Structure 1
């Protein structure tokens, strides 16, 4: 029985204690990170910057002005004729 080592004869390796973690907090943090990733993805897919929105609005206003300037009224006399009644 001399060949068998006793358990007490082996050197003990003490593992460092792990940090105590509240699992609910970890779960919430993981969910917040997932939501932040989804929000970033949605912003890149659907979002426009303020400058892009302003540029599009001014372009739309310019297009409306051009269209209104070229409008032909159905009952209006041609612009080069003189008014009748004078």
Structure 2
């Protein structure tokens, strides 16, 4: 005779195994070490600084920008 199988336990075990597989895939796909995150942040910051240095029209103070805009409206 065949063994009697409790379907509720079987479903729960199958769900746990599927969740474990999904968790493992997520760890591989999205997991990064603290050093990797810090390196990426440093690279992004350096890229932003490089863009700021190469900017043709450096950021102007708001007061100067507002005066120019007011003059353009009157003309």
TM-score where L is the length of structure 1? 0.50
Unaligned runs of 5+ in 1: 1-17, 75-86
- Coordinate RMSD, CA, aligned: 2.7
1:45 alignment partner, SS class: helix
- Structure with greater helix share of residues: 2
Higher relative contact order (CA 8 A, sep 6+): 2
Which structure 2 segments of 5+ residues have no match? 59-75
**TM norm structure 2:** 0.55
Per the alignment, residue 30 of structure 2 pairs with 46
**Separation of aligned partners in 2, 1:54 and 1:21:** 51
Deviations 1:31-84 (A, max 9, x none): 11111112211321233233212210111001111221222118xxxxxxxxxx
2:9 corresponds to which residue?
A: 25
After TM superposition, where is structure 1 displaced by more than 3 Å over at least 4 residues in a row? Answer: 20-23
Using the TM superposition, name which of 22-31 and 57-66 deviates more.
22-31
